[in-house]
Amino acid sequence: MRSSQSRRRERGISFIGLLFVAIVVACAGVVVAQVIPTLIEYQAITKAANKAKEGTTVPEVRAIFDRAQAIDDFQSVAGKDLDVKKVGDKVVVSFAYEREIHLFGPAYLTLKYAGQSH
pLDDT tens column, 63-106: 999 999 999 888 899 989 899 998 888 889 999 999 999 988 99
Is 2 within a domain? no
Range(s) of the domain holding residue 94: 38-116
What pLDDT score was predicted for residue 9? 75
pLDDT of 8 reads 72
Specify if 101 maps to a domain: yes
Q: At 17, which helix (H) or strand (E)? A: helix 15-52
Cα torsion 110, 43, 69, 103 to 10°: value is -20
Q: Under a CB-based contact definition with an 8 Å cutoff, are residues 60 and 76 in contact?
A: no
Calculate what percentage of the chain has a pLDDT beyond 70.
94
Write out pLDDT tens, residues 27-54.
999 999 999 999 999 999 999 999 999 8
* 111 falls within a domain: yes
**Average pLDDT of span 105-114:** 95
Stretch (H or E) spanning 109: strand 107-116
Q: What is the predicted pLDDT for the residue at 40?
A: 95
Contacts of 3 (CB under 8 A, 6+ apart): none
Closest to 91 in 3D by CA, of 64, 52, 34: 52
pTM of model > 0.85: no
Q: Report if residue 22 sits inside a domain.
A: no
Number of domains in the chain: 1
Task: Name, in order, each residue with C-beta under 8 angstroms of 116's C-beta and a sequence gap of 6 or more.
Answer: 49, 92, 93, 94, 95
The reply to whether 21 falls in a domain is no
| Residue 48 domain-assigned (yes or no) | yes
Mean residue pLDDT of the chain comes to 89
Using alpha carbons, select from 92, 52, 86 the residue that is nearest to residue 70: 52
Which tens digit of pLDDT belongs to each residue from 49-58?
A: 999 998 888 8
- What is the predicted pLDDT for the residue at 65? 93
